[in-house]
Chains A and B, each alone.
Chain A
């Protein structure tokens, strides 16, 4: 007696009858895609994606902006603290205490001496912090500078 499984397999392998072997007349969609259509689809897809991308970028920027604003607020607070610290460090009581710790004492009354020469003009900024005399340079002017005289520039 033949195994039923084997019989089934044999039936599957049997050739189809002739009328079945004719070409099926089922209308199949044409896969010939025009490149213009493809381009249009791509444009439409991109257009659809664009707002999503824009929103995503805007949201990221927004979060960044919020972070920066928080950072700015924090830094401003720290600046004010530092300013207060500087004021505290340069306050009279603190300077006097520090001077006393260093062994300094109040000076005597000043002695005024009359001299024939005019005194120096007091500078508001110590000399070491003032810009030095302008250095003379031997490097010739670049050629294009002469062109500037041809251009009418606003005063």
Chain B
């Protein structure tokens, strides 16, 4: 029997058209999702599937010049409690008891912390000891979240804290070497990318593209921990003895610019630091490079060096001191109001005669003297590798209100502000052959694979001739060896030096407070150390020679014995002209 074909009625075509159109829409949507927007959805799916973790890089250690560790990083845990997990009282009680035992905190105290916090994950303690954290994780205490972290440890305690500086909670250096070399110390964090299962855990052998962390470099400092400790102890003792407000001691190798010790007071102390106290923030700066003072008579070393180098005077040039010099109705007198009569230039340094310094600077003239000040590095940062270094202030002839009185007072260290680091660098230049060397604190940089890159001494220029420098050493030796007792003379070593006592400037004048200082070097013919001692506002009003020079004498003996330098005091005295 022949079958008749169904007629194309609406009853057939309408549903067919509807389903056909629906199929077309579906196909179109599929095409859009699978072909046109493929890459976008594939990426979204990959993101959903993939998890990533930051892998912390080890922060480099800081070592002293002999390899002793001054700062290192250790792994720690930050312990959080998920407050939702402690909603149930019985769970909270047992978990807080277990956590309390590990952290040595009472359980009610922990429960209170969690209850009072508004956040879900409550920080219980930061930087928990690594082993304690591991134990907490092993115990599987309910609601505990432990996040890995690192903490900085300083095995030498507070020694060198003002040089080393501080690391913040985000492991970024905030002060000192930690801040100045943060990029090198910090390294570069890595990244682990993994496929994760429905619980978020990594799938073994899932895609694992890991960017390995690059550990930070280790820094070998020029600081010697023994000398640093000595400098800090001697400074503390001197500040107490002379009832000073603070001070600084810097020990420098004058030929290389290596800082062997740098102590400041007040200064950073890890043991008493409280960053919640605003006053503590001020301790983060290293006053030896950030704070200015008027150096007083120590500046006569620079004036004399400039005058001799320029050929304006010789050590034996004489002049007659009348105790006062008048400049534009301003009387400039000697510090002790004494009249010394006929004096050589060596005598000017020995007796610290202000009028003698004015005599030399008048022979030089303002332009040449300013040129020497620039050559010695005044008025610009010394370039030491610490942050926040001040440039100092010099009044120049081009400045408004400048007068020849400024030039005269600059010759003996007033109307000029310097940092202790600038001053010691200038004296280093005067005695090391005339080279301006950049003071520095880092001796070598050691990468994680053990490659060591030594930091070479950097000579920034030549301020005076080597012969002038040799003459200056002789003249400064004569200051400490005037043929009578001098408190700055070491017992076992030949030495030279110059003291300074200057009033503290205030707007439109000076107040009664003073800064007493002494800069000395030893041995005299081949200086191994240059030491600056500065006491701020010593209440006993002793001069630099009386208060600071004895500290130098004792330190020079002790440091050179420690450095195994053969004593030469007797030999040098016999050979000295």
Residues in chain A within 8 A of chain B (CB atoms): 58-59, 61-63, 65-66, 74, 76-78, 80-81, 83-84, 87-88, 90-93, 109-110, 112
Find the A residue at minimum CB distance from B566.
Answer: A112
**Would you give the shortest CB distance from B171 to chain A, in whole angstroms?**
14
Q: B155 — which chain A residues lie within 8 A by C-beta?
A: 84, 87-88, 90-91
Contact between B204 and A58, CB atoms less than 8 A apart: yes
Stretch at the interface among B70-78, B98-106, B494-502: B70-78
Knowing A59-B204, A66-B202, A92-B226, say if A109 contacts B153 (CB, 8 Å). no
List of A residues within 8 angstroms of B202 by Cβ: 66
Give every chain A residue within 8 A of B75 (Cβ-Cβ). 76-77, 80-81
- The 5 A-B residue pairs with the shortest CB-CB distance, nearest first, are A62-B204, A87-B69, A77-B75, A87-B155, A62-B205
Count contacts on B: residues with CB < 8 A to the other chain: 27
**Selected contact of B130 from candidates A59, A81, A88, CB within 8 Å:** A81
Find out whether the CB atom of A93 lies under 8 angstroms from the CB atom of B157. Answer: yes
Return B475 CB to nearest CB of chain A, in Å.
28
Distance (Å) between the CB of B101 and the closest chain A CB? Answer: 21
Q: Is A63 a contact partner of B204 (Cβ separation < 8 A)?
A: yes
A80/B72 in contact, CB under 8 A: yes
- Per the bound structure, the CA–CA distance linking A83 and B153 in Å amounts to 11
Residues of the A chain whose Cβ atoms lie less than 8 Å from the Cβ of B309:
none
Most buried by A among B157, B202, B205, B229: B205
Interface centre among B75, B157, B229 (most CB of A within 10 A): B75
Give bound CA distance, A81 to B72, whole Å: 10
Residues of B close to A83: CB separation below 8 A:
69, 72
Question: Dominant SS at the A interface?
Answer: helix
A80 CB, nearest partner CB in chain B, Å: 5
Q: Which B residues are within 8 Å of any A CB, using their own CB? A: 58, 68-69, 72-75, 130-131, 134, 153, 155-157, 159, 202-205, 225-226, 229, 492, 557, 561, 566-567
Provide the bound-state CA to CA distance between A84 and B129, in Å.
12
Tell me whether A112 and B567 are in contact (CB under 8 A).
yes
* Given contacts A92-B226, A92-B229, A84 and B153 within 8 Å (CB-CB): yes
Question: If the complex has contacts A61-B205, A74-B134, A109-B561, are A92 and B69 also in contact, measured as CB distance less than 8 A?
Answer: no
In the bound complex, what is the Cα–Cα distance between A110 and B74 (angstroms)?
A: 40
Q: Which residue in chain A gives the minimum CB-CB distance to B565?
A: A112
Instruction: List A contacts of B226 (CB < 8 A).
Output: 92
Q: Smallest CB–CB gap between B495 and chain A, Å?
A: 16
A-B contact list, 13 entries, CB within 8 Å: A61-B204, A62-B205, A76-B75, A77-B130, A78-B131, A80-B72, A80-B73, A81-B74, A83-B72, A88-B153, A90-B155, A109-B557, A109-B561
Q: Return B127 CB to nearest CB of chain A, in Å.
A: 13
Out of A58, A59, A80, name the residue touching B74 (CB < 8 Å). A80
- Give the docked Cα–Cα distance between A107 and B52 (Å): 59
Which residues in B have their C-beta under 8 angstroms from that of A77? 74-75, 130
Specify which chain A residues have a CB less than 8 angstroms from the CB of B72 in the assembled complex.
Answer: 80, 83-84, 87
Beta-carbon nearest neighbor of A67 in chain B: B204
> Given A92-B226, A92-B229, A65–B204 Cβ distance below 8 Å?
yes
| Complex CA–CA separation, A87 to B155 (angstroms) | 6
Query: Given A80-B72, A87-B72, is A110 in contact with B561 using a C-beta cutoff of 8 Å?
Result: yes
Quote the shortest CB–CB distance from B404 to chain A (angstroms): 50
Residue of A nearest to B75 (CB): A77
Question: In the complex, which residues of chain A have a beta carbon less than 8 angstroms from the beta carbon of B156?
Answer: 91-93
Contact B69 A58 (CB under 8 A): no
Q: Measured between alpha carbons, how far is A65 from B74 in the docked complex, in Å?
A: 24
Residues of B within 8 A of A93 (CB): 156-157, 159
Contact of A59 with B157 in the complex, beta carbons under 8 Å: no
For the complex formed, measure the closest distance between the CB of B221 and the CB atoms of chain A, giving whole angstroms. Answer: 14
Cβ distance A64 to chain B, nearest Cβ, rounded Å? 9
Residue of A with least CB distance to B491: A109
A93 to B73, CA, bound (A): 20
**Which B residues touch A62, using CB under 8 A?**
203-205
Q: Are B73 and A66 in contact (CB under 8 A)?
A: no
Most buried by B among A84, A109, A110, A112: A84
* A12 → B minimal CB distance (Å): 53
Find chain A residues with CB under 8 A from B73 CB. 80
A153 to B577 Cα, complex, angstroms = 70
- Which of A65, A83, A92 is most buried by chain B, counting CB atoms within 10 A of its CB? A92
A58: nearest residue on chain B (CB-CB)?
Answer: B205
- The answer for the CA separation of A83 and B557 in the assembled complex, in Å, is 34
B523: shortest Cβ distance to chain A, in Å? 13
- CA A76 – CA B448 in complex, angstroms? 14
Inter-chain CA distance A51–B449, complex, in Å, is 41
| Cα distance, A62 to B206, chains bound together (Å) | 9
CB contacts (< 8 Å) of B131 on chain A: these are 78, 81
Chain A residue, CB-CB nearest to B130:
A77
Contact status of A90 and B204, CB under 8 A, knowing A80-B75, A84-B74, A109-B492: no
